Amino acid sequence: MEWFTRMLSTALLLVSTHLSAAPVDINTADAAALAAALNGVGEAKARAIVAHRDQYGAFKSAEDLALVKGIGLRIVELNREVILVSSSPTATGGSE
């Protein structure tokens, strides 16, 4: 019963968060905005996304998020509808 309750709570959280999530540009958003907008991404993973972007430059696609430690394709798929990818010149730093 505890497993069922936990799974139901998780499902409801994902659905409610997904319905209220606004699109977020992974090349310009700060860690707080990423954590707020992306399901399965908390503050630590959001900081890792920003650090990866700062080190390697702008993401070219949503799938590039999977290059960040702790972010897998499952998280990308959960968030595909809210991920925006700009080619912002302010997000291009570091080497490829």
CATH code of the domain in which 81 resides: 1.10.150.280
Residue at 18 is within a domain: yes
Residue with tokens 């080619």: 87
User: Bridge partners of 25?
Assistant: 84
Whether 96 is in a domain gets the answer: no
Angstrom distance (rounded) from CA 34 to CA 39? 9
Q: Name the residue range of residue 26's domain.
A: 2-91
* Segments in 1-96 forming alpha helices (H): 2-20, 31-37, 43-56, 73-79
The average confidence (pLDDT) of the chain is 85
DSSP structural state of residue 40: T
Domain count, the chain: 1
Count CA atoms within 13 Å of residue 12 on its CB side: 6
More confident residue, 36 or 5: 36
Average pLDDT over residues 56-81: 97
pTM across the whole model? 0.71
Q: What pLDDT was estimated at residue 19?
A: 55
pLDDT, tens digit, 9 for 90 and up, residues 10-33: 776 666 555 556 999 999 999 999
Structure tokens at 65: 């998020």
